[in-house]
Amino acid sequence: MDSPGTGPQAKGYVWLIFSISLAMFMSSLDGTIVNIALPAITEAFSLSTTTVSWVATSYLLVLVGCVLVFGKISDTIGYKKIFLTGFAIFTLGSFFCGFLPELVFGFPSLVASRIFQAVGGAMLAAVAAAMITAYIPAELKGKAMSIIMLFASLGTAIGPTVGGILTQYLSWHWIFFINVPVGIFAILLGAKVIPSTTPPVAGTGAFDKAGAALVFVGLASLVFVVSEGEALHWTSPIILGAAALAIVTLGLFVRQELVHADPLLDLRLFKNRNFFLANLLLFLVFFSFSGISYLLPFYLEYVHSYSTSNAGLIMTSLSFAMMVAGLIAGAAFNRVGPRRLCILSCIPLILGYFMMTKLFVHTSTGFVVLALALIGFGLGLIVTPVTTLIMMSVSKAKAGMISSLTSLERTAPLSIGIAIFNLILILGVVGIANRYAVTYNSPSSIKMEVLSGGFDIAFLLSLALGFVILIISFALKEEIHPDYAEEAKLLRKGH
């Protein structure tokens, strides 16, 4: 197993893919398993809801801020070192999250442990897609990418259920302790099956320290603004100051990357029309989905009076549909091609988004489940081909850089989208209430109709973005870098 091309045989590839999939699974699981335990953590430390939110916010700030940095580093020192170090930090951080708050400093030590854990999570997120493109042969690349996306969907789907069970029957500490045995197994497996080769170095200049600092501060500030803007008020000095800091530092980051000999993120790649469109497509896919994932549970609980557990169960229909479609996308990748898969995926995606604009007070559960299944199926079909197309459009020497970029484009839109969709919901509800003179003294049934109408207005944005995604999909081309000549041959043969 000395080189990607001649290393693992068929069985070895299975274990290699499984090792990478574990990283995606744990990262996705951690993103949803924690939120369900926040009420228990609030009670344990006698906190406000604003304060306890830092358990989730601190992790997200560091993850988004660091992922591009580790993507660039991995292109120089190798994916295996970053992957194994990342899993070790993530696992140790998980243990600290569950163990330290009971010993020292209480809640602050939990937040500090989450920050430490996020560094490991960023390392894992930065190299997962790069390892698939570097180590998996052409004929298996599409299937491998779909499998790691399937594991990511599975982690997202079962996170709330597993977190609820562990918190209810054991304690909130176990939502972190569960990562420890899985992490140890993943480290031992990865050490054995991941090739030790160092990828070609993408550049010869010194590491872009200024760019790393600027992108960390800029992205972390941006995520802070969109995550805490509503709680702290959008016009508060803290939010306005953070917004100004984000604008200045990200502007300086762009300037720095354009003049540095070996940039953290090669912005010149975006001059390529197809590369720009593919990345924009991936961003818009997750941005359009963010409103559904965040707002729909509120619709189910407030308008239909479902319990939290039942609302979570309904939401899993999306994740499981995404898993099924991911498997289909992997099998069809070489036969159909990434562009056609992207176009086909827009049919269920747009139909599902359209159904979401037709939610009423008396909408049946079956209607909601069908809409979620269509959206999940569309997402599952589109994520694999567009991610693979982005990865194969750039030289292998920059695979870590581009892998971290795709990870950022999956994470950041979800945070930004939550703030924007929530704002549209509020404005929509207020607008409808004012137009029809609905007040607090109005009957409950009328107020529910107004609230339902607000959700419909918010989901109209997802529908509009669905058509934009379709237009971009038609505009895409299957431009493959010469480093992936074998993959290009398979695509041509499939057509």
pLDDT for 7 equals: 44
Helix segments in 46-106, DSSP class H:
49-52, 54-77, 79-99
Closest CA to 454 of 357, 350, 334, 355: 357
Separation CA 159–CA 29 (nearest Å): 5
**Cα 91 from Cα 174, distance rounded (Å):** 13
- Least Cα distance to 314 among 348, 284, 359, 351 occurs for 359
Looking at residue 451, its pLDDT comes to 80
What pLDDT sits at residue 44? Answer: 84
The domain ranges of the chain are 1-201, 208-265, 266-495
Same topology, domains 1-201 and 266-495? Answer is yes
Q: DSSP for 246-271?
A: HHHHHHHHHHHHHH-SS-SS-GGGGG
* C-beta separation of 346 from 181 below 8 A: no
* Cβ contacts of 136 within 8 Å, gap of 6 or more: 13, 16, 17, 144
Give the C-alpha separation, 465 to 117, whole Å.
34
**Interval 236-258: pLDDT, tens:** 999 999 999 999 999 999 998 88
Predicted model pTM: 0.82
Name the 3-class secondary structure at 450.
Answer: helix
User: Which residues contact residue 478 at a Cβ distance below 8 angstroms, ignoring those fewer than 6 apart?
Assistant: 337, 338, 339, 389, 491
Q: Strand (E) positions, 258-309?
A: none
Alpha carbon distances (Å) from 349 to 46, 105, 155: 42, 47, 21
Q: How far is CA 330 from the centre of its chain?
A: 19
pLDDT for the residue 441: 67
How is residue 323 written in tokens?
């898993």
Nearest to 129 by CA among 388, 302, 321: 388
Report d(CA 339, CA 440) in Å as an integer: 51
Architecture in CATH of 266-495: Up-down Bundle (1.20)
Other C-beta atoms closer than 10 Å to the C-beta of 400 total 30
Cβ pair 400, 127 in contact under 8 A:
yes
Residues of the chain with pLDDT below 50 are 1-8, 202-203
pLDDT at 140: 78
Q: Which fold has domain 1-201?
A: Growth Hormone; Chain: A; (1.20.1250)
Rounded CA-CA distance 372/355 in Å is 9
pLDDT tens for residues 337-385? 888 999 999 999 999 999 999 888 888 989 999 999 999 999 988 988 8
CA end-to-end distance (rounded Å), the chain: 33
Q: Which residues, 6+ apart, have CB-to-CB distance to 352 below 8 Å?
A: 371, 372, 373, 374, 375, 376, 377, 378
Report d(CA 320, CA 157) in Å as an integer. Answer: 7
DSSP string, 337-348: -HHHHHHHHHHH
Q: Give the Cα separation of 252 and 214 in Å (integer).
A: 7
Distance CA 460, CA 449 (A): 17
Interatomic CA distance for residues 432 and 423, integer angstroms: 14
Residue 258, number of CB atoms within 10 A of its CB: 11
* Distance (Å, whole) CA 416 – CA 438: 30
Identify the pLDDT of residue 473: 94
What secondary structure letter does DSSP report for 207? P
Largest CA distance in the chain: 73
DSSP state of 382: H
Report pLDDT for 279.
93
pLDDT at 425: 85
Residue 326 Cα distances to 202, 225, 257, 456, angstroms: 31, 33, 35, 28
Cα separation, 125 vs 402, whole angstroms:
11
Distance CA(37)–CA(447), nearest Å, equals 30
